[in-house]
């Protein structure tokens, strides 16, 4: 009797498995027949689903503004070749991917690029580029793109980053406004930022930094656009260590300027003073 029951239960189990197999094959084939061109794969087909990459989400932070000294810029920030670096554009350059040293004076109060990262570091230099000059004499008053800036072999530097890592402003000691504010935003959109280390709405005075290929914090972009639309009497201001966004990909680009002139962002005597012992390549400063 016990053996007979065992055989009965085994037979029932096999029957259920068979029904399940028929059920699994049946509807899929029927659906394929009733929906020509549909998305249901026929039985036995291996389906490859694409990997969907979720965009980095950065919650908005709160920022404040300071009053601008002097008149506002006389042109749209988004189309200004002095404020939006993409208006000028740039090309790749085959140059040394490391720190370089130039003869000449050094300013200990120049913005230090290692503090873009937290903690501060000397990043791997991933790419070098040359920015275009701007010819203000043609097509006045807007001007037009000129030749490549050739005084320095590199005027835009790509630095290796980890996607999503926080990015801060390059630190500087002197403050531009009470409360520890060091820099002011002249232009901001979702992927780029232009900072000046004065309260003047122009690149012609003091140090200026262009940052490309980052995700600028939406709170900073929103505040800039509000103040820009209101006439630029005030603009966003930032302190050392304040987060301005996160790395968008594996490379963050930076351009450095002093009183309007584009300089070499690899120069350790200016932008990497804590790493001067690692400067083994000596270059002659252009006249």
**Domain boundary pick from 55, 73, 95:** 55
Sign of CA dihedral 260, 266, 267, 270: positive
What is the model's pTM? 0.80
Residues 13-29: tens digit of each pLDDT: 444 434 343 333 433 33
Q: Is residue 2 within a helix (H) or strand (E), and if so which, with residue range?
A: helix 2-34
- The yes-or-no verdict on residue 2 having pLDDT over 90 is no
Q: Could you give the CA distance from residue 81 to residue 75 in angstroms, rounded to a whole number?
A: 10
Q: Is 43 in the same domain as 175? A: no
Q: Could you give the CA distance from residue 101 to residue 49 in angstroms, rounded to a whole number?
A: 51
Sign of CA dihedral 194, 202, 156, 241: negative
Q: Could you give the CA distance from residue 211 to residue 198 in angstroms, rounded to a whole number?
A: 17
Q: 131 and 149 in contact (C-beta within 8 Å)?
A: yes
Q: 205 and 36 in contact (C-beta within 8 Å)?
A: no
Q: Is 37 in the same domain as 70? A: no
Where is average pLDDT lowest: 28-37, 211-220, 227-236? 28-37
- The yes-or-no verdict on residue 201 having pLDDT over 60 is yes
Q: 232 and 187 in contact (C-beta within 8 Å)?
A: no
Query: Is the peptide bond preceding residue 77 cis, with omega within 30 degrees of 0?
Result: no
Residues 54-98: tens digit of each pLDDT: 456 679 999 999 999 999 998 899 999 999 999 999 999 999 999
- Report residue 10's pLDDT band, with 50, 70 and 90 as the boundaries: very low
pLDDT at 55: 57
For residue 141 the two structure tokens come to 């008053």
Length of the chain: 287
pLDDT at 104: 86
Q: Is 28 in the same domain as 70? A: no
pLDDT at 57: 66
Q: Could you give the CA distance from residue 120 to residue 70 in angstroms, rounded to a whole number?
A: 34
Q: Is 31 in the same domain as 146? A: no
- The yes-or-no verdict on residue 36 having pLDDT over 60 is no
Q: Is 236 in the same domain as 110? A: yes
Q: Is 225 in the same domain as 137? A: yes
Q: Is 98 in the same domain as 140? A: yes
Total structural domains in the chain? 2
CATH of the domain at 141: 2.70.70.10
Q: Is 168 in the same domain as 228? A: yes
Sign of CA dihedral 158, 255, 112, 78: negative
Residues 150-190: tens digit of each pLDDT: 999 999 999 999 999 999 999 999 999 999 999 999 999 99
Q: Is 108 in the same domain as 222? A: yes
Q: Is 49 in the same domain as 75? A: no
Q: Is 268 in the same domain as 197? A: yes
Q: Which domain range does residue 277 map to?
A: 64-283
Percent of the chain with pLDDT over 90: 72
Q: Is residue 151 within a helix (H) or strand (E), and if so which, with residue range?
A: none
pLDDT at 272: 98
Query: Is the peptide bond preceding residue 278 cis, with omega within 30 degrees of 0?
Result: no
Q: Is 48 in the same domain as 154? A: no
**Domain boundary pick from 55, 82, 99:** 55
Q: Could you give the CA distance from residue 73 to residue 226 in angstroms, rounded to a whole number?
A: 16
Give mean pLDDT, residues 249-259: 98
pLDDT at 98: 98
Q: Could you give the CA distance from residue 220 to residue 62 in angstroms, rounded to a whole number?
A: 7
């Amino acid at each position: 009797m016990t053996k007979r029951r065992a055989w009965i239960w085994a037979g029932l189990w096999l029957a259920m498995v068979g029904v399940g197999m028929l059920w699994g094959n049946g509807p899929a084939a029927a659906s394929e027949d009733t929906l020509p061109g549909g998305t249901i794969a026929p039985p036995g087909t291996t389906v490859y689903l694409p990997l969907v990459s979720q965009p980095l989400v950065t919650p908005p932070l709160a920022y404040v503004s300071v009053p601008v000294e002097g008149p506002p810029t006389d042109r749209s920030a988004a189309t200004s070749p002095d404020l939006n670096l993409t208006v000028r554009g740039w090309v790749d350059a085959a140059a040394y991917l490391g720190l370089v040293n130039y003869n000449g004076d050094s300013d200990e109060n120049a913005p230090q690029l290692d503090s873009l990262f937290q903690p501060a570091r000397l990043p791997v230099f991933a790419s070098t580029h040359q920015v275009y000059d701007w010819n203000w004499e043609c097509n006045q008053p807007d001007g037009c793109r000129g030749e490549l800036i050739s005084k320095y072999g590199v005027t835009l530097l790509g630095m290796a980053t980890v996607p999503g890592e926080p990015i801060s402003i390059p630190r500087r000691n002197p403050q531009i406004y009470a409360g520890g504010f060091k820099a002011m935003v002249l232009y901001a959109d979702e992927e780029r930022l232009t900072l000046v280390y004065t309260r003047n709405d122009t690149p012609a005075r003091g140090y200026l930094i262009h940052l490309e290929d980052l995700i600028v914090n939406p709170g900073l972009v929103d505040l800039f656009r509000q103040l820009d639309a209101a006439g630029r009497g005030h603009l966003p201001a930032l302190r050392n260590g304040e987060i301005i966004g996160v790395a968008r990909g594996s490379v963050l680009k930076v351009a450095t300027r002093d009183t309007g002139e584009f300089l070499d962002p690899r120069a350790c005597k200016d932008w990497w003073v804590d790493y001067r012992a690692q400067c083994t390549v000596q270059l002659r400063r252009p006249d």
